[in-house]
Chains A and B, each alone.
Chain A
Amino acid sequence: MKKSVILGAMTFAGLAAGAASAGTLDDVKARGKLNCGVTTGLVGFAAPNANGEWEGFDVAVCRAVAAAVLGDSNAVEFVPTTGKTRFTALASGEIDMLARNTTWTFSRDVDLKFEFVGVNYYDGQGFMVPKELGVSSAKELDGATVCIQTGTTTELNLADFFRSNNISYEPVPIETNAEAQQQYLAGACDVYTTDASGLAATRATFDDPSGHVILPEIISKEPLGPLVRHGDHEWGDVVRWSLNALVAAEELGITSANLGEMAAGTENPEINRLLGTEGTLGEMLGLSADWAKNAIAAQGNYGEIFAKNIGEDTPVGLARGLNAQWTEGGLLYAPPFR
């Protein structure tokens, strides 16, 4: 109750504030800082490192937007949100954008009045069980106790999956990934279910990752992406095209290593337009001409961000799979910069 009242009051105050202010872009520029909502801690996606600096796949999106808007990838205030608090935080204006493994669904886009600006990770819901349980398929989980993060789409998918397979389960609702991990390891639940990428990231932090298997069933489509409030289209465009710039940069072969060289001007007009040596794309967005260059300079292009945070060489160890460029059989496809 206490929390809900605070949230309610925040919504209340935030709505009053939200109506008074004009555009989020102007607000961010005036503030000199981007307020970005992330998870409370999911290794590889968003978690503070040993020095207390936030890093990860979702964090990189925040940093790229901050670099594009403010020219400084460190001008970000990271606001940790739970599955439950994230939408209220965004709707109330406490955060400018949310990059928190959030699934793009119809009702969130339409009914909750948010604007998903794209997909930065194509995911699906999976199940993780201890190897010693000897389970090889999710359909064998009849009667199992399942840990689940409350307030997520996974909660609804789980209910659908068990209902359509006509098997029963006992849900254990949990607030954050860290608590879920603790409960799962303590054996208070047999199964932990969330997005497959989240499972891999969580398993990477276990003492004995090989003692746990991720079951083959992927029971849902989970396109995860950053989102902003509905109605502020200028700001939505900024976030959307900052993300597209990262994806396009990989496609065009712009990396953090050759960025300086490319920014001096190339034979390829699309690279020139993207990096601001040709045309006025930055001006159209209300940003400086080198916005995309700054965004890419922050953490590299999409491929570099992927490899550094969740790629196969990291403890999380995710393959590119669906998240490869369209030219390589994946789903990543940035619209043309022109």
Chain B
Amino acid sequence: MSTLTDPPKEQFRLSMLLYDTRYRSATIQVIAMFGFMLLAAWLINNTIINLNTLGKPVAFKFLGETAGYDINQRLLDYNNQDSHLRAAFLGLLNTLVIAFLGCIAATVIGVLVGVLRLSSNWLVARLMTIYVEMFRNVPVLLWIVLIFAIVTEATPHPKVYRGVETGAMVVTNRGTYIPEPLFSRSLGDIHLFGSSPLRFDVSLDLIAILVVLGLSIFASIKMRQRADHIQETTGDRPKTWHMRTAVIVLPILVLLIALGFHLGYPELKGFNFQGGTHLRNSLIALWLALSLYTAAFIAEIVRAGILAISKGQTEAASALGLRPNRTMSLVILPQALRVIIPPLISNYLNLTKNSSLAIAVGYMDITGTLGGITMNQTGRELECVLMLMLVYLGISLTISAIMNWYNEAVKLKER
């Protein structure tokens, strides 16, 4: 028989916060947190007091004032009588354009170079090594300036084309003009947000095209699934390629004809070419430099990802009779993606943040409008820099979220 006694109830004493290992780490963290918040509060308080002494209290009213300056690359309607907020919004769109174009180009070039660097062809592999090392080891600002200098110095002045028959595409030292899509029976635009600074026009033509294209692709996928199903049950795969091509091409063709689609070509009028889509040299230089620079990093990530897949996988695939390109696309790349995606995200973020170097070539991104001219004309340094930081934080977190979602989708599913 044994006697059960309750263990003595331990009383909590204050000294235990320091001497009891159960509580000590919490104590330290609370103190550190407190100290950090004190420091932050002191900094913020000091800034606010000093700004008030200077007669410039923190305020965002300046955003509603007339900007008074022009922006060359405008995705939406804007004139110099619009507000600073509208100018910042246009700058933001320009940032997004360069980030979007840059990420796509960098990925395409990066994957290509990464795969080619593993090529058994000595010359190709070495050339790719030189490319990667050159771009990775020189600051991106220098690449931007160099490429800008090349595109402005090496291209002809518009006056060279005077009296010359120009084709669909014209390269000048102010930029490259490409044909623009025009619709003679356009459906018009939807005007979102009325006349607020964030007003936004969406072309109905574009929406119609996207909807039709989406439906066509959906139909095409359904046909493939039906073919798969028939193949699984009967063993015979019906021929579907002609039907699938037709279902994608025909509806869009009909729609384009209905909308009166035609191309507008650039024409030399006065000082410059008018008409067509104007890709300014600043955009081209920034786009090329950022994509080539980031592609060098992506190439290394892709190479590392491919090398991370054991050779046994390739051998097993060959043993099953898969051809080398099928091995790459069906066996190696899907597994390599798991290694590639996480570092790829950080490269996308880097590219987006590096796009703030745009002012070096006069590309009016958000750093150029809100963080440049607006800041300078209104003298609201703190407010503008804070807003800029928020914007970049927002863009980066969005890219992160999208890519993490994609990563979830491709990563190894363990059940």
Q: Which A positions have Cβ atoms within 8 angstroms of B? A: 1-5, 7-8, 11-12, 15-16, 18-19, 83-84, 87-88, 91, 107-108, 111-113, 141-145, 150-151, 155-156, 158-160, 163, 169-175, 183, 186-190, 230-231
Contacts and interface: CB of A to CB of B under 8 A. Distances in A.
A189 B153 CA distance: 12
Given A16-B50, A159-B80, A188-B152, A142 B371 contact: no
Given A155-B373, A159-B80, A1 B392 contact: yes
Category for how many chain B residues contact A: 35 or more
A151 B173 contact: no
B379 A112 contact: yes
A254 to B, nearest CB: 38
B51 to A, nearest CB: 7
Contacts of A112: 379
B173 A142 contact: no
B378 A8 contact: no
Contact of B54 (A142, A170, A231): A231
29 contacts: A1-B356, A1-B392, A2-B357, A4-B375, A4-B385, A4-B388, A7-B385, A12-B382, A15-B54, A19-B49, A84-B372, A91-B54, A91-B381, A108-B379, A113-B54, A143-B269, A144-B271, A150-B372, A155-B69, A159-B70, A170-B272, A171-B69, A171-B72, A172-B72, A172-B362, A173-B364, A173-B373, A175-B360, A230-B54
Contacts of A151: 372-373, 376-377
Given A88-B381, A113-B56, A144 B367 contact: no
B276 to A, nearest CB: 14
Contacts of A15: 47, 50-51, 54
Interface in B357-415: 357, 359-360, 362, 364, 367-368, 371-373, 375-379, 381-382, 384-385, 388-389, 392
A63 to B, nearest CB: 27
A19 B50 contact: yes
B55 interface: yes
A88 B378 CA distance: 11
B238 interface: no
A18 B50 contact: yes
A150 B70 contact: no
Contact of B153 (A18, A150, A186): A186
A110 B41 CA distance: 30
Nearest to B271: A144
A170 B72 contact: yes
A173 B369 CA distance: 11
B321 interface: no
Closest 5 pairs between A and B when the two form their complex, measured CB to CB:
A1-B356, A8-B385, A112-B379, A151-B376, A159-B80
B272 A1 contact: no
Interface in B263-283: 269-272, 274, 281-282
B157 interface: yes
Contacts of A3: 359
B46 interface: yes
B224 interface: no
A7 B359 CA distance: 15
Contacts, number: 138
B12 to A, nearest CB: 43
Given A19-B50, A113-B55, A113-B56, A150 B362 contact: yes
A15 B46 CA distance: 9
Contacts of A145: 174, 271-272
B368 A173 contact: yes
B136 interface: no
Contacts of A87: 376, 379
A189 B175 CA distance: 11
Given A171-B72, A231-B55, 19 more contacts: A1-B392, A16-B46, A83-B376, A84-B372, A91-B54, A113-B54, A143-B269, A144-B270, A151-B377, A155-B373, A156-B68, A156-B377, A159-B68, A170-B72, A173-B362, A174-B362, A175-B362, A187-B157, A188-B281
A53 to B, nearest CB: 28
Contact of B55 (A19, A183, A187, A230): A230
Among B56, B71, B274, B377, the one with the most A-chain Cβ atoms within 10 Å of its Cβ is B377
A21 B389 CA distance: 30
B53 interface: yes
Interface string B222-234: 0000000000000
B353 interface: yes
A4 B367 contact: yes
A163 B272 contact: no
Contacts of B174: 145, 170, 188-189
Nearest to A112: B379
B270 A143 contact: yes
A127 B190 CA distance: 40
B54 A84 contact: no
A161 to B, nearest CB: 11
Among B50, B282, B367, the one with the most A-chain Cβ atoms within 10 Å of its Cβ is B50
Contacts of A156: 68-69, 80, 377
A190 B364 CA distance: 20
A143 B371 contact: no
Contacts of B69: 155-156, 159, 171
Contacts of B377: 107, 151, 156
Contact of B379 (A111, A174, A189): A111
Contacts of B281: 188
